[in-house]
Every structure is written in C-alpha cells, then in structure tokens.
Amino acid sequence: MSTSHAIRHIRITPIAFRDPPLLNAAGIHEPWALRSIIEIETASGLVGINESYGDQPMLEALAKAAPALVGLSPWALNDMEARVAALVTPPQLTASEFLGQQVSLAPGTHVSKTVAKVVSAFEVAMLDLQGQMAQAPIVDLLGGPARDRVPYSAYLFYKYAEHVGQPYAPDAWGEALTPAQLVAQARRMIDQYGFQSIKLKAGTLPPEQEAAGILALAEAFPGTPLRIDPNGNWTVETSLQIVQQLRGVLEYYEDPAPGLDGMAAVARECDVPLATNMVVTDFAEFRRNADMGCPVKIVLSDHHYWGGLRATQRLSTLCQTFDLGLSMHSNSHLGVSMVAMTHLCASVPQLTYACDTHYPWQDEEVVEGGRLQFEQGSLRVPTTPGLGVTLDRTALARLHDNYLHCGIRNRDDLGQMRKYAPSFTGHQPRF
C-alpha cells in the first residue's frame, strides 16, 4: 500500500435534525433525531464518509476505536474489524441484562451490538474511499448491481400535529390518529414519492383502531402490498385476533408479539408470513430462529447493526439457504445512510421486498445537492465512485449546531411520551 493512501485522520461529528412527533410502541419520537457523520481522511487528502447512530454511547465507542485505524489502508477491512473488536467489545452481560437488551424496541441500542455498529460505521467510510481509489461505485465493490434501482415502501405513522412545547413550527404532515387521516397521509406520501407498497407503524392505539386503519388503506389503495408493525406490543392472542380481521390483506406481519417464542406461537396459528427486525437481529438469533423451524420467514436487516454491508451480504446468503425473505429496516436517517443502504440493496439478488425508510419524515439533509429524488418509489443506484454523495459543509455545521443546542444525548421515546401522558409505562405487550 502506498503511504499516501494510509488513513491519517478520522473525524466524528454528531448532528441533530428535526424529527416529527411519530408514535410507536415505546412512546413518541423526540423533537430531534441524533446521528453521527464519520469522515476518514487519507494522507493524500481523499475523504470517505458515512452516517451512523449519534447517541452518547455510540459516540464514545467511535472515539475509542478511531485512533486504532490511523495508518491502516482503506482496503484493510478485516484488520479494522479486529482492532474495533479488541477495543469496544462490551463486558459479558448477565442473563437478565441480555434479555432486557433483546426486548428493546430499537435493536441498534443493544449493548451487544456495539462492535457491529462501530465496524459498520467505519466500513462504509472505508468502502467509500476504496470506490474513490478504484473509480468504482460501492455496489461494484460488493459484486455489482443485481438491480439499477431499489424500491422503498411508504412508511406510515400515527402522529400528533406538533411536539409538546412547540420547539419549532409544526411539520407539514399534520395529525394522523384516525383511518381517514392515515389514508390522507398515505395518499400524500405516494403522490410525492411514488411508493408502491405501504407499511404502518402500529402498537400505539387500540389494536381494533389500527386494524381499521389497514382496512381503510386496503380500500383506498386496492392491490397495494400492505404491512403492519406493532413492534411486539400485542399479546399472542391479540396478534391472532387482528390477523384474522386482516385476512387476505397483509403482505407480511411484522413483529406482532414480543420475543421469538411469542412470534413462534403466532406463526403456528397464522398463514401470513412473519417478518422481524426485533427478534432476528444478529447471526446468533438467526441460528435460534432456524433451530425453531424458522417461525420468522422474513428478516428485516439493517447494516448499521448487523455489522456493515459485507455482513449483510452474508446474511442474504443464509436467508437464501433457509428459504427466507429479506428486506431492510430503517430508522430516522439522512442521505448518506440512505445511499449506503441503496448500494447494499442493489448488490443483494435475494432482496424480495421493498425496503423501509423514514426518509420522507426528515426535511433536512447533509449531502450536496439536497434531498434525494425517488422515482416511482425507488432510488437509482449511484454510478459515480464510492458512495456517490459528498457532504454539504454548511449543512453539516448547521446540524452540528442543532446537536450542541438540542439538549438530547440519548434517544428516549418513553420519556418524551410521559410529557403527554405521565402515567405511560411503555410496558410490552401493552394490548
């Protein structure tokens, strides 16, 4: 390796951007979503970028591992993984701590995912550098495109019109608490982005109301694939009652009941395939699902906590081996993360469902050129070197200033919900 290509510096910039009051099983989104922007610079001045989680534990883990990468080649991904693992592997969890991590709404917050998250954060930035050096898009480094555009799904939420305390002007989407408001939200999102499938984040209102919402969507958008995701907030009994009401309507049923055992109990009585981003979130959990006869039929991966783009490709091979479907989970994110996800999805022939994305809910951006443009619900795979996007330095400075002043350092949907409903516990399953 030429010394001019050695890594000489790593910058990690925490950012915050406006996030609407979206309801979920854990509570409600806070006014500001946290992310981090990672920049890896070589001695020759090339800069590879990435976007990842921005909570305090993640920032500390990134800062702890970053110095160990100085001097590495951008091609030395295996060496990077070994160095990260040596520095940020968490202490062994007790059984009760491990179970507590496993039932969390957001798998990316698990202590057990620390190594995978940090590896992924650095891997994408190093792949961006590799692509610039080879004059090839990242999808080519991953084996080449299986498709030239990646389909995404309209991701609907029940939501309030504005945040408590009015930290800024209300978002343009308005309130969505009734079936009619949900249909209006879907129509606006489909008209604007062209999505050809719909997912509803559920587990927030009484299940009968949410079932009515799905049925209203089925009537308003006949033939459109529909999914519902209660985030494990329904009992097995409730899960089975609701899926009976939705017979012939759902494309798949995502995380209705808590835990893999709960999902297996639903699967035994349900002919709709079950999907998850909560109970198969790493390779050990994949093995347990396989040992149980695969009650989960569709894995919703996320390269941010599965260990990166290459690790997710390995997951896709396992899904093919066990005849499982594959798609991608999403969290509040901006364009850098979105483009990395698009390269990955383009490289995976086994991708069988349109992917999740929160992108329409975000109205800020950190990449040059502003908001990414969807075509009939899909994003075109970049053909320029590396990720194919660069940072807007002015926007980065503005979003970093948001971080410095927003007062949030760890995501807390439960605490935010208690500002609206002080007695809310977040206990699952709630219904």
Q: How far apart are CA 121 and CA 53, in angstroms?
A: 9
The answer on whether 233 is annotated among ligand-binding residues is no
Nearest Cα to Cα of residue 42 among 124, 113, 133:
133
pLDDT score at 109: 67
Per-domain residue ranges for the chain?
A: 7-136+394-405, 139-387
Exposed (0-12), middle (13-18) or buried (19+): which is 47, by Cβ within 10 Å?
middle
The answer on whether 114 is annotated among ligand-binding residues is no
* Per-residue confidence band for 12, with pLDDT thresholds at 50, 70 and 90: very high
Question: Could you tell me which residues are beta bridge partners of residue 23?
Answer: 28
Which residue's entry shows tokens 């479907």? 325
The answer on whether 331 is annotated among ligand-binding residues is yes
The answer on whether 277 is annotated among ligand-binding residues is yes
pLDDT score at 355: 98
Phi, psi (deg, nearest 5) at residue 126: -70, -35
The answer on whether 29 is annotated among ligand-binding residues is yes
The third-level CATH classification (topology) of the domain covering 139-387 is TIM Barrel (3.20.20)
- 402 against 2, higher pLDDT: 402
Q: How confident is the model over 147-170, as a mean pLDDT?
A: 98
Q: How confident is the model over 171-193, as a mean pLDDT?
A: 98
Question: Looking at the predicted structure, is the pLDDT value of residue 101 above 60?
Answer: no
Q: How confident is the model over 368-395, as a mean pLDDT?
A: 98
The third-level CATH classification (topology) of the domain covering 7-136+394-405 is Enolase-like; domain 1 (3.30.390)
Question: Looking at the predicted structure, is the pLDDT value of residue 97 above 80?
Answer: no
Phi, psi (deg, nearest 5) at residue 121: -60, -45
Q: How far apart are CA 276 and CA 292, in angstroms?
A: 15
Q: How far apart are CA 242 and CA 225, in angstroms?
A: 17
Q: How far apart are CA 165 and CA 420, in angstroms?
A: 10
Alpha carbon of residue 43 to chain centroid: 33
Choose the catalytic residue: 117, 163, 201, 297: 201
pLDDT score at 102: 42
54-68, 80-94, 152-166, 394-408, range with the lowest pLDDT:
80-94
Catalytic (active site) residue 329 = yes
pLDDT score at 189: 98
Furthest-apart CA atoms within the chain: distance in Å? 64
- The pTM for the full model equals 0.95
pLDDT score at 112: 87
**What's the token pair of residue 209?**
């109301």
The string of pLDDT tens digits covering residues 184-223 is 999 999 999 999 999 999 999 999 999 999 999 999 999 9
The string of pLDDT tens digits covering residues 240-275 is 999 999 999 999 999 999 999 999 999 999 999 999
pLDDT score at 93: 52
The answer on whether 155 is annotated among ligand-binding residues is yes
Q: Kindly report the average pLDDT of the chain as a whole number.
A: 95
Question: Looking at the predicted structure, is the pLDDT value of residue 107 above 80?
Answer: no
Q: How confident is the model over 84-103, as a mean pLDDT?
A: 65
